[in-house]
Amino acid sequence: MPSALKGKDILHVKDLKLEQISLVLETAARYENVVANGGRLNIMAGKVLATLFFESSIQTRLTFESAMLRLGGNVVSVTDVKASTSGIKGERLYDTGKMIDGYADVAVIRHALEGSAKELADGANVPVINGGDGAGQHPTQALMDLYTIQKEKGRLNNLNVTLAGDLKNGRTVHSLSWLLGKFGPRFYFVSPQELRMPPEITKALCDDGIEVVETSNLEEAAAKSDVLYMTRIQRERFTDEQEYERLKGVYVVNNEFIQNARRGITIMHPLPRLDEIAREVDAYEGSAYFRQAANGVPVRMAIIALVTGCE
Ligand code: NCD
């Protein structure tokens, strides 16, 4: 039976059906076991992944490239981050997509403009994966976040989850709230007034019967939450530097904070962190952010193998 994801672009989490999400999580778990037991996968031998990162990235890029190598495939990369659509040559992403077909079997793109992954995908025949488009979406991060929650909590259903920080500009929380919304959570959206979750996302969740509490009080939300997902204030999306300076230190999770939070709370963060989680918190057993980062490899292995039909 062909995979439910074969030939598909991964652009927005809204396009993912429950069975496709389960398939990614199950495949990732299987791959993680193989790699953990010293095994090798060679299912992408002779295939090429193109990584086009026009906006800075360490984790997403390295996990995608590591994932492809662990599947036995190869990687080609655009390393000139200034070569974006508005760059020196003015090349359109649609045309880049047309060319990619000749060079690679699958592509992942990160770009500062919302909708950029879609433009590349419109040109390309090979599957295109959105590795973050501006303040828009980051679907593969949301899938690895789900995978992490499942592993840490043993389930995805009926969890109280706080998403905190820059909910306006953070693409990870945009994707995660759509995706986790399928599993009947109660959400606390914690941010300063200026950085609230886009109203269309909150409204869509409420229309689906999901309980969403919007507040600026992190302590109160954490006292009731199974999972706290912290995010950094997204400096690169601010037009007013003073506004960024005013908001950047608004939430800090430290050991004292953890003591007042719900017992056993899991702390997540897509990374990079700035000051919103103190380093002392790393020793707390519920701090899952580095495990979350490591989970990026098996989850992205699964995504690459499934969309190319190699699984
Ligand atoms: C996130 C991103 O790029 O949106 N990072 C990541 O992919 N791990 C979060 C962030 O940059 O704050």
Model confidence over 54-85: pLDDT tens digits? Answer: 988 899 999 999 999 999 999 999 876 665 54
Q: Name the pTM for this structure.
A: 0.96
Is 237 exposed, middle or buried (CB count within 10 Å of its CB: 0-12, 13-18, 19+)?
middle
Question: pLDDT digits over 32-59, tens only?
Answer: 999 898 888 999 999 999 999 998 889 9
Q: Is the CB of 68 under 6 A from ligand 1?
A: no
Given this model, what pLDDT does residue 39 score? 81
Question: pLDDT digits over 183-227, tens only?
Answer: 999 999 999 999 999 999 999 999 999 999 999 999 999 999 999
Residue in 148, 173, 191, 271 to alter for ligand 1 test, most ligand atoms within 8 A of Cβ: 271
> Is the pLDDT reported for residue 1 higher than 80?
no
Domain 139-293 has CATH 3.40.50.1370: yes
Q: Is the CB of 141 under 6 A from ligand 1?
A: yes
DSSP string, 17-73: -HHHHHHHHHHHHHHHHHHHTT----TTTT-EEEEEESS--SHHHHHHHHHHHHTT-
Mean pLDDT on 88-93: 74
Q: Is the CB of 130 under 6 A from ligand 1?
A: no
For atom 7 of ligand 1, which residue has the closest CA? 60
- Residue extents of the structural domains in the chain: 13-137+296-307, 139-293
Given this model, what pLDDT does residue 88 score? 56
Same fold, 13-137+296-307 and 139-293: yes
CA nearest to 75, candidates 96, 106, 97: 106
Question: Could you tell me the distance, in angstroms and rounded to a whole number, from the CA of residue 2 to the centre of ligand 1?
Answer: 32
Query: Left, alpha or beta for 287 (phi > 0: left; psi -120 to 50: alpha)?
Result: beta
CATH for 13-137+296-307? 3.40.50.1370
